Structure 1
Amino acid sequence: MASKGLIKNVSRRTFLKYAGIGGLAAFGAFSALKYPSGWTKWLSFGQKPWEIAPGVVDYSLVAQFEGPMNTDGVPQAYIDNPDMRILNVAQWYDYWPGYVIRNFTDYMNKKFNLPACEARWTSNIYTSNEELFTWVTQTGRKFDVMVPTNYTVETMEKAGLLVNLEQDWIPNYLNIFGRVPSAPTTPFYPTTYTDPGTGLPATIDYPGFAAGDPYNNAASVDFRDPILNGYAYRGNTTTYATQKPHPGGGAWSDSNGIPTLDGLVAIPYQWGTTGIGYRQDVFRQQDIEAYGWDVLGLSSYTNPDSGITYDLTKKRMMLDDMREVFTAALKEVGFADQERLGAEEVSLPGSHPEWRNPAPPPVIFPPTTEVHKLDSPYNKLYQWSNNEVAETKLQDSADWLNGITGTMWGFNTPQQGPWLVSGTMLVDHAWSGDIMYAVRPNLEPHPPVDYFVPKQGGARWIDNLTIHRECEKLWLSHQFINYIHEPEIQATISSFNLYATPNAWTFQILYRDPSFSSPTWNPAADHRIYSDIALGTYGVPTGSYTGQPILNRCEYQKDVGVQNSLLYFQYWRGVKF
């Protein structure tokens, strides 16, 4: 987003560069810096009166300190003390329109008859997860609500920085992609619009599908399930091995997979993917998609249609982000090794069959027995993960990177979109939302820039709403999170930043309400934003996405721990410096 002249000229997608706690330790070890004393005091907050264990809130105890609720449902402390109505919120810059947050005051006044509520955030704008993490571990800054990325949620949870959430105070949580609840929520703001076909008012209700379909979206995507979204659930060592044990010593969910009282610590805010941005007036789509990550190693490209040969020297760029760079390299090198080996259990000179990872099993979507076969890069048998820790794999990936960086421009995050628009770069490693914001497909004309996830695979990520352990305004913080997931509010946010909403109701609003689209473009039908979930394909805003599966090519990055982060940083230094 640097083209807008924003703070520090750094993209909001500049993630925690050194992989959470382990990365910060790696930075200290390799730069001979002494650890700041704050890093050793992550768990020194002292147990709050409403906690039954550090970071584990018993919400029945909260009422003893916030007071009984009046007939409007407001705890007495917020009525008696105006200072209790002011929230301190930490957020990525340029991630929501300011007037939406100002309108939280009106929302609380109308819904709860509680005036003068406010969410203050403009002095708490950060440009990376690392910056946010530093604030809460070194500087003593205290927040009520924070918006870290999925693997930073895991890092913060391990560091004792988060509290569990009270789902009864966030009914709009059920609007998130997942199974249809028995009693859908009721929005505070009406979801009405003018039907362009009839000219009459129409209402968009909670999304329901064919009888027997248990999901609130046609693609059966679930951002609420604890197994699929383990980073958001405390003590989920089943699918997130690096999670710390459950504080209560018990299971992290009940027998039906429903989170326990102290299980949920994060609620999705926005999400996206990592792939390749490129100039459409240089590359043919079929050519660059056939290359995938290999395009970053090309020194030139001849367009078969125009016959023009383009010099790509210093016209290619990668993100200045260690984990993202190694994700691209691991996917490219692993896929190439897979192709050399073929689908058979054979060993060829120079290959390493013992390094290959089992592919995920096919997914069966209930209530039918239809098998969703995982496609590329799982179209053979094995694929490397973007969370690899084997030194041999990291060495091979570093070798590939060292082989292409000599003719690349280098590593840069803030200019990933603007430099494609200006033609300074012809192809780059990029985040979906930053490229879409640069393209502005809702405007005409827009620049000839496009985005895709390579066939070899990439990363996916979710930014999340969380509550800091130092928060002492728990009820109001929950109301703010619930407000953000009002269907109309989320639609306004997503139409502003062009990132993907995790809110299924909002997704329907974006698709059906013409005020959130243009005559030639619909955000919910654009697979560059919504991948397989898209209700169409870019340029064909009807039906469902019918192209090659995208999300099963993408993995969530996870905190790989201190020692493994040291290993990553060792290779990263060799590549970058």
Structure 2
Amino acid sequence: MKWSAALGLTGTLGGMGVLSGLGYVKGPQEPRPAWETEPGRVDYSLVPSLAALDKSQTYVLKIAQWYDYWPGSFLSDFRDFMNSEHGLRVETRWDVYTSNEELFNWITLGKRRYDVIFPSNYLVDLMKKAGMIYSLNEGWLPNFQANIDPTLIGQPLGNPYDRLGPQGPFVSVPYFWGTTGIGFRTTAFSPDPAKAREEVEEVGWDFLWMDSYQPTDASMPRIDLHKKMRMLDDERDVLGTGFKKAGWEWQRGLGLGPSYPNGYVVGTTDPDGDPGYQWTMNETDPARIGAAGELLFAAKPHLFDFSSTDQATSLIANVAILNQAWSGDMMYAIRPDQYLTQPMDYAVPRQGSTWWIDCGAIHAKSRNLAIAHAFLDFIHDIEQNLRLTYWNLYSTPNKAAFDALRPYNNGYDMRTDPRLYPNINAPETFRICDLTQDVGLDTLINLYNPLWFDLTTD
């Protein structure tokens, strides 16, 4: 779940500007198919169902997906399923990306066509508004209807990212979800992993502004942090951390502790009308964005780089002490499902962070809508979803699959792990995580993207 600066200024400002989707790039418009009644909205009475498809043809399903998110055999199993259950020959072509921005630029600047894509929830919201993804036919998604956790769809209430209006059709289905926090080597902080986690939670994002740190356990040597920390190559996660740090410092400057008012309640106000504790991941006030930017520039000299592909490997190799990271990536590196685990852990800082959902959606250039629906629904077959979450160690949004999870041979049970399911096992942690949301085109183009480009350009 990440935005990359790898494409430079043109890619960042152009791709993130929604380009042709919102009219920023003009050119010949491709005629819409008859069943697309308006941009992004489909009349499914005009779309052939699976049963109506020609069984003598070979269909090609084009997919764009994150790296390391399913085993290679998953696609071949889908092809076998389509042949055995529906008598259809389906080939799959799979492109792998490492950031939301890479995906976005592929289908805007690169004009690539896909059937199924997997953007994060806030990109779903932006693409929905641009008519770049299609409304879904829930009648073709029986597993989604039967198995999905209702608390993980239709968010936020009143303005859901995944629907065309509060009660409109869905435009995406959840794939897997997680949080953003800190991955760290426990042995640098304490011989006791639990104490190490408590310490990292307590100091939290403040580490990123330090060159060194003395653990509270006096027997531990001082930790050299200079150039041994990374932040994600992710615009929203990095800027969001800046908001959390800036809001934390603002709060302390007013002499207000973390329990004010009545704990961490995003968007509340104090009796004088000032924003309550804490700033969110979705700030749009130019002054707050500027304050976050100043802090992030101050943190940059302490960091090794901005990277989203070696957060875990650098910790395993002991060349990093702590990194901003995604929950599932860290769990996959820690391997709590195995008897021999890595001396690493994951924590959400006390200053707060974000939670997000990676989603399956149908690209508005797809002409294989029935097969695309079948693929999205195949993901939420209970057995298939179990297989995926056992493999990638991310948090499943499939309630039926979650209920069917069983402990690994070493006794580890994903269902009771607060790092994977803080909504169930650590509600006080989940409460300080904001759902990352679309902040609007003007804020994105004029404030977020220039700051991100400057921050990540040497």
Pairwise TM-score range, normalised by the shorter structure: 0.7 to 0.9
The residue that corresponds to 2:192 in the other structure is none
- 1:86 matched to 2:60? The reply is yes
The 3-state SS of whatever aligns with 2:294 is helix
The residue that corresponds to 1:555 in the other structure is 435
- 1:291 matched to 2:203? The reply is yes
**Could you tell which deviates more after superposition, 545-554 or 391-400?**
545-554
The residue that corresponds to 2:44 in the other structure is 59
Sequence identity, in percent?
34
Unmatched 5+ residue regions in structure 2?
A: 190-195, 258-263, 270-274
Aligned counterparts, 1:196-275, within 5 A: 221-224=151-154, 227=157, 230-234=160-164, 236=165, 252-253=166-167, 259=168, 263-275=169-181
Unmatched 5+ residue regions in structure 1?
A: 1-12, 180-220, 237-251, 254-258, 345-356, 363-379, 534-544
The residue that corresponds to 2:52 in the other structure is 76
Shift of 1:26: 5.9
- 1:387 matched to 2:302? The reply is no
Code of the residue aligned with 2:93 in structure 1: it is W
**Could you tell which deviates more after superposition, 461-470 or 381-390?**
381-390
The 3-state SS of whatever aligns with 2:134 is coil
Shift of 1:168: 0.6
The residue that corresponds to 1:40 in the other structure is 25
Shift of 1:126: 2.0
CA deviation map 1:236-271 (0-9, x unaligned): 3xxxxxxxxxxxxxxx52xxxxx3xxx211111111
- 1:136 matched to 2:79? The reply is no
Shift of 1:23: 7.8
Alignment partners' CA distance in 1, 2:10 and 2:434: 23
Shift of 1:135: 2.3
**Contact between 2:232 and 2:238, CA under 8 Å: does it hold in 1?**
yes
Alignment partners' CA distance in 1, 2:342 and 2:284: 40
Aligned counterparts, 1:375-454, within 5 A: 381-454=276-349
**Contact between 2:284 and 2:439, CA under 8 Å: does it hold in 1?**
no
CA deviation map 1:102-150 (0-9, x unaligned): 11133223433x14234x133x222222222222223332211111111
The 3-state SS of whatever aligns with 1:121 is strand
The 1:474/1:335 distance shift into structure 2, 3 A limit, reads: same
| Aligned with residue 277 of structure 1, among 183, 206, 217 | 183
The 3-state SS of whatever aligns with 2:421 is helix
The residue that corresponds to 1:150 in the other structure is 121
Shift of 1:574: 4.3
The 3-state SS of whatever aligns with 2:281 is coil
CA deviation map 1:33-69 (0-9, x unaligned): x999x9625892322111222322111122xxx3xx7
Alignment partners' CA distance in 2, 1:523 and 1:178: 16
**Contact between 1:26 and 1:562, CA under 8 Å: does it hold in 2?**
no
Shift of 1:414: 1.7
Alignment partners' CA distance in 1, 2:27 and 2:265: 37
- 1:325 matched to 2:325? The reply is no
The 3-state SS of whatever aligns with 2:183 is strand
Code of the residue aligned with 2:357 in structure 1: it is I
Shift of 1:451: 0.6
Alignment partners' CA distance in 2, 1:164 and 1:27: 22
Shift of 1:564: 4.1
**Contact between 1:39 and 1:137, CA under 8 Å: does it hold in 2?**
no
TM-score, with structure 1 as normaliser: 0.69
Shift of 1:480: 1.3
**Contact between 1:485 and 1:503, CA under 8 Å: does it hold in 2?**
yes
Alignment partners' CA distance in 2, 1:43 and 1:389: 34
Shift of 1:509: 1.7
Structure with greater helix share of residues: 2
**Contact between 1:26 and 1:566, CA under 8 Å: does it hold in 2?**
no
CA deviation map 1:362-384 (0-9, x unaligned): 9xxxxxxxxxxxxxxxxx93321
Aligned length: 436
Code of the residue aligned with 1:556 in structure 2: it is T
The 1:457/1:481 distance shift into structure 2, 3 A limit, reads: same
**Contact between 1:43 and 1:159, CA under 8 Å: does it hold in 2?**
no
**Could you tell which deviates more after superposition, 295-304 or 323-332?**
295-304
CA deviation map 1:431-487 (0-9, x unaligned): 111111111111221111111111111122111111112222222211111111001
Alignment partners' CA distance in 2, 1:226 and 1:575: 30
**Contact between 2:280 and 2:434, CA under 8 Å: does it hold in 1?**
no
CA deviation map 1:263-319 (0-9, x unaligned): 211111111111111110012322221111112122222234323222222222212
Alignment partners' CA distance in 2, 1:436 and 1:483: 25
**Contact between 1:22 and 1:562, CA under 8 Å: does it hold in 2?**
no
The residue that corresponds to 1:104 in the other structure is 78
Alignment partners' CA distance in 1, 2:119 and 2:454: 29
**Contact between 2:15 and 2:109, CA under 8 Å: does it hold in 1?**
no
Alignment partners' CA distance in 1, 2:375 and 2:33: 22
Shift of 1:489: 0.3
The structure with the larger Rg is 1
The 1:568/1:26 distance shift into structure 2, 3 A limit, reads: farther
Alignment partners' CA distance in 1, 2:36 and 2:385: 31
Alignment partners' CA distance in 2, 1:472 and 1:430: 36
| Aligned with residue 133 of structure 2, among 144, 162, 165 | 162
**Contact between 2:12 and 2:453, CA under 8 Å: does it hold in 1?**
no
Code of the residue aligned with 1:339 in structure 2: it is R
Alignment partners' CA distance in 2, 1:145 and 1:109: 19
**Contact between 1:23 and 1:562, CA under 8 Å: does it hold in 2?**
no
TM-score, with structure 2 as normaliser: 0.86
Code of the residue aligned with 1:278 in structure 2: it is F
- Aligned-CA RMSD value: 3.1
**Contact between 2:65 and 2:96, CA under 8 Å: does it hold in 1?**
yes
Code of the residue aligned with 2:29 in structure 1: it is S
The 3-state SS of whatever aligns with 2:132 is coil
The residue that corresponds to 2:193 in the other structure is none
The residue that corresponds to 1:463 in the other structure is 358
Alignment partners' CA distance in 2, 1:455 and 1:25: 33
The 1:396/1:563 distance shift into structure 2, 3 A limit, reads: closer
Aligned counterparts, 1:347-358, within 5 A: none
Alignment partners' CA distance in 2, 1:137 and 1:442: 40
**Contact between 1:45 and 1:470, CA under 8 Å: does it hold in 2?**
no
The residue that corresponds to 2:2 in the other structure is 14
